[in-house]
Every structure is written in C-alpha cells, then in structure tokens.
Amino acid sequence: MKLKYFAWIAEIIGKREEIIELPEKVKTINDLINWLSLQDNSYKIAFADTNKLKYAINQILSQQKDKITNNDEIAFFPPMTGG
C-alpha cells in the first residue's frame, strides 16, 4: 500500500510518502490510523485530531469508515481552504 502525506502531516511524520504492507486486521482508514499510531509516536501526533484530517483512497475523497486494501493509495491531508 502506498501512503502519501501532505502539508503539516508530512512535516510531523517526517516523510511525504511510504510503501507499507497492510496488516490483515486493518480493513478501514480508521483501522490504518490506529495501527500507524501504534508504530511510531510521530503518527500518533499527526493523527491525534482526526477532525483536522481529510483522506483519499486512490485520489477519491473518502471517510474513516471506508474499506481499504493493499493495492490502494491512501492520502492524508489537512482540509483545504480557499482564498
């Protein structure tokens, strides 16, 4: 699975993207967030307030409850604002 991080999320985690092997028990974006948060404190900090996050599965805006697979690309980014 390819993970992409944008803006302050990438700064906190220390990388813009990575490839991981999805554990079998991880079935949704919410599961992924919880699992990543257990792997390293930087993920725990970046994902501490999920109300400040948006998600995309294969470049389609998604929600935490949406299903994911090892073949997906998941992006994490802050809400966009216009100006």
Q: φ and ψ at 47, to 5 degrees?
A: -100, 15
77, 56 Cβ separation under 8 angstroms: yes
pLDDT of residue 82: 57
3-state secondary structure of 74: strand
pLDDT tens across the length of the chain (83 residues): 999 999 999 999 999 999 999 999 999 999 999 999 999 999 999 999 999 999 999 999 999 999 999 999 999 999 876 55
